[in-house]
Chain A
Amino acid sequence: MSVATDERTELCGIELEHPVINASGTFDALAARRAFGDAAWERFPFSAFVSKTITLEPRAGNPPPRLFEAAAGMVNSIGLPNKGLEGFAASDLHELGELPVPLIVSVMATSREAFAEMIGTLADRDEVAGFELNVSCPNVKSGLIVGAEPSETESLVESLRPLSAKPLIVKLTPNVADPAPIAAAAERGGADAISLINTIAAAPWSAGSRSEPWLGAGSGGLSGPSVREVALHAVHRVGAAVGLPVVGMGGIETGRHAADLLAAGAGVVAVGTASFRDPAAGLRIRDELRRFGGTARASGDPHR
């Protein structure tokens, strides 16, 4: 494992300059380049870029409001707005190929066939270093949330495995009693890595005049510092249950938080909501992580 003197690492064959990547849907490399100019790419804050989740067909996303500021974090119900596979492959992918870091494409579908079409279409694109399978969604045929059922997860990964030689990272939801059996199922299906956690199901509500859910879609997912210990627990459980590398994420705001997740069993960490507060948060967290020597357990009493 990497140490402070050499922070280079790798994620199932994808070479990384350092162990800090982004969580899908929390950084838009193309929008950042437009807002901040080339500096956003020259000082790219992550050692790999995980795209926002794409789906087979274009999606408009959920009706607003989509955001709620929670205690130490936020609830979002964005609804995966994206251009769809064709739009992504025709426009965004080319520009993303110029990124100074490897590109991991996040994909989601509600059927095995749609997943297969996306992986099949993108598998031979040189711009793509690997895939993240977002399985926090139902299979329309079985009605089951794929990432909540070991058998669904295993058979999905098994069916996609032959379609690409590139790494398949399975992104797990924390909205299950225990993520370890799901991770083990993904491993049996042929996954190359596990990433977790996705957001925690949440629904802000207001009493009084507005006696309805706050969010336009009714419910959403909690992220930010408030989920940090949930992530540590899930990463530790999964790290102990599988032999695959784990991408740990959830509430990382500082290098110390990143070091804690690495100590809990992650090989690579992903920064999510913190990028909303500072687009360059990933750079600071990487620098701070160096002081912890990459994987060393952060010292100090959290109750101080």
Chain B
Amino acid sequence: MSATGFDHPKAPFGRRLATVEMNAPTGGYRLVSALDSEGPDPAPGQFYMLATERGWGGVDGRPYLPRAFSVASAERRDAGVRLDFLLESVGPGTEALAGLRGGDGLWITGPLGNPFSAPRDLNPRAAGAILVGGGIGIAPLAVLRRALSRRGFPHRALLGFRDRAHSGGVSELFSCSEVRLASEDGHAGHRGYVTDLLETMLDGDSAATAVVYACGPPAMLEAVRAMSLERGVACELALETPMACGFGACFGCAVPLAEGGYMRLCVEGPAVRADRIATAATAGAGHR
């Protein structure tokens, strides 16, 4: 890790039980907070494997595998670190997680994966960062945003949502930030894609001093990847793929590399340089 990079803490070995502190609605999403009394502070972009202590394994035997979630915010307390996760109920696993209540147990393994690179590790001449988030993918950018603020590094956030039901987290996670919004249904900000905003911003910026960080649905990330490569803008993407273990054992989270072959996203990502991969349109949705 370079001197400018973020610390890269290692997870305690084995899963451990965290205690849910809060589960609050934010737009169409849920923000679930849990206290981890043992683990280190996660770095921006790192993730945890999550499973509820009770009710994991429903009538049809699912959910079975834990679900990978980026941290949306982390706050050090006397009793441990409070971890916030942004959730949407879209399947049996996320339904169980979204239904957690204060005092419930939450199995966590993490923090896992490589954090985002520091801006000047991606571009030595970087003068400002552009954070591009889509839907639930705004979560890891929120942690990055705070880390950049602490370092006094200039940054702007462009956040896009499909519609009102698939939005949330902006006021909780991006307060005190320069944020521009886009929504496909026009309920907030620019009517259209967040990548429209990115294109406009890059048109007015110098590619030589820009750095882009993005997380969101595969189609959005692929558009950001193509745009940044075309313009020669330094860019890092936080990807998602189906993942069984999160620590390099299962080889399930394969992402195709530009040079051929695959990487394991869990141990070589989830933050990856845009020019390293063949596509950001990863196959297969998450386990949900």
A residues neighboring B (CB under 8 Å): 25-28, 30-32, 34-37, 39-40, 43, 52, 60-74, 76, 78, 81, 214, 216, 224-226, 273, 275-280, 283
CB <8 Å contact, B248 and A67 = no
Instruction: Give the residue of A36, A73, A226, A283 whose beta carbon is less than 8 angstroms from that of B10.
Output: A36
Whole-angstrom distance from the CB of B199 to the nearest CB of chain A? 29
Question: Which listed residue, B13, B243, B248, touches A37 by the CB 8 Å rule?
Answer: B13
Additional A-B contacts beyond A66-B252, A214-B284 (9; CB < 8 A): A26-B250, A32-B13, A35-B11, A36-B12, A61-B262, A63-B283, A74-B65, A76-B252, A279-B13
Which size bracket describes the interface of B in this complex? 35 or more
- Given contacts A64-B241, A81-B262, A277 and B255 within 8 Å (CB-CB): no
B254 contacts A61, CB within 8 Å? yes
Q: Which residue in chain B gives the minimum CB-CB distance to A29?
A: B249
Partner among A32, A63, A273 whose Cβ is within 8 Å of the Cβ of B248: A32
Looking at the complex, which one of A40, A52, A276 makes contact with B245 (CB distance below 8 Å)? A276
Report 19 cross-chain contacts, Cβ distance below 8 Å, ordered by A residue. Answer: A31-B247, A31-B248, A34-B248, A35-B247, A35-B267, A36-B12, A39-B13, A63-B254, A63-B256, A64-B262, A65-B283, A67-B250, A67-B252, A70-B61, A73-B61, A275-B249, A276-B250, A278-B107, A280-B14
The reply to whether A37 and B10 form a contact with Cβ atoms under 8 Å apart is: yes
Complex contacts, A78 vs chain B, CB 8 Å: 250-252
The reply to whether B282 and A279 contact each other, CB–CB distance below 8 Å, is no
Q: Are A64 and B255 in contact (CB under 8 A)?
A: yes
Quote the shortest CB–CB distance from A60 to chain B (angstroms).
4
**A contact residues around B287 at 8 Å (CB):** 67, 69
Residues of A within 8 A of B254 (CB): 61-64, 66, 81
Query: Which residue in chain A gives the minimum CB-CB distance to B254?
Result: A64
**Closest 3 CB pairs between A and B?**
A31-B248, A280-B14, A65-B284
Determine whether the beta carbon of B64 is less than 8 Å from that of A69. yes
Residue B244, interface by CB 8 Å: yes
At the interface, yes or no: B195 with Cβ under 8 Å from chain A?
no
Tell me whether B13 and A64 are in contact (CB under 8 A).
Answer: no
Q: What does the 1/0 interface line of B253-265 toward A look like (CB < 8 Å)? A: 1111000111010
| Cross-chain contact A34 with B251 (CB below 8 angstroms) | no
**CA separation between A30 and B248, bound complex, in Å?**
9
Contact A61 B251 (CB under 8 A): yes
Question: How far apart sit A252 and B164, CA to CA, in the bound complex (Å)?
Answer: 44
Contact flag A278-B14 (CB < 8 Å), given A65-B284, A66-B254:
yes
Bound-complex Cα distance A40 to B112 (A)? 14
Would you call A276 and B283 a contact (CB within 8 A)? no
Q: How many Å lie between the Cα of A66 and that of B63 in the bound state?
A: 17
Contacts of B253 in A (CB 8 A): 64, 66-67
**A243 vs B65: C-alpha distance in the bound complex, in angstroms?**
37
Q: How far is the CB of B39 from chain A (nearest CB, A)?
A: 11
Contacts of A280 in B (CB 8 A): 13-15
What residues of A have a CB within 8 angstroms of the CB of B61 in the complex? 70-73, 225-226
Q: For the complex, would chain B's binding face be called helix, strand, loop or mixed by DSSP majority?
A: loop
Contact partner, A279, options B57, B62, B65, B249, Cβ 8 Å: B249
Tell me the B residues contacting A by CB distance below 8 Å.
Answer: 10-15, 51, 57, 60-66, 93, 107, 109, 112, 241-245, 247-256, 260-262, 264, 267, 282-284, 287
Known: A31-B249, A276-B250. A71 touches B51 (CB 8 A): no
A295 shortest CB reach to chain B, Å: 26
Residue of A nearest to B252 (CB): A67
Given A37-B10, A81-B262, check contact A26 B249 (CB 8 Å). Answer: yes
| A72 pairs with B64, CB closer than 8 A | yes
B147 to chain A, nearest CB (A): 21
What's the nearest-Cβ distance from chain A to residue B153, in Å? Answer: 28
- Bound state CA distance, A72 and B264, in angstroms? 24
Please measure, in the bound complex, the distance between the C-alpha atom of A64 and the C-alpha atom of B283, giving whole angstroms. Answer: 6
The complex places the Cα of A78 from the Cα of B112 at a distance, in Å, of 21
A34 engages B250 (CB within 8 Å): no
> A37: nearest residue on chain B (CB-CB)?
B10
Q: How many whole Å from A222's CB to the nearest CB in chain B? A: 12
Task: List, in ascending order, chain B residues with CB within 8 A of A69's CB.
Answer: 62-65, 93, 242, 287
Q: A35 — which chain B residues lie within 8 A by C-beta? A: 10-11, 112, 247-248, 267
Q: B63 CB to closest chain A CB, in angstroms?
A: 7
Alpha-carbon separation in the docked complex, A277 to B49 (Å): 8
Are B65 and A276 interface neighbours, CB within 8 A?
yes
Q: Which residue of A lies closest to B58 (CB)?
A: A71
Give A288 to B120 CA distance when docked, in angstroms: 50
Contacts of B64 in A (CB 8 A): 69-74, 224-225, 277
- Most chain B CB atoms below 10 A, which of A67, A74, A76: A67
CB-based contact A66/B242 at 8 Å? yes
Residues of A within 8 A of B51 (CB): 277
A39 to B38, CA, bound (A): 14
Given the known inter-chain contacts A67-B243, A276-B65, A276-B244, please indicate yes or no for A36 contacting B13, CB distance below 8 A: yes
Which residues on the A side are within 8 Å of B282 (C-beta)? Answer: 64
Q: Which of B10, B253, B287 has the most CB of A within 10 A?
A: B10
**Closest A residue to B111 using CB positions:** A35
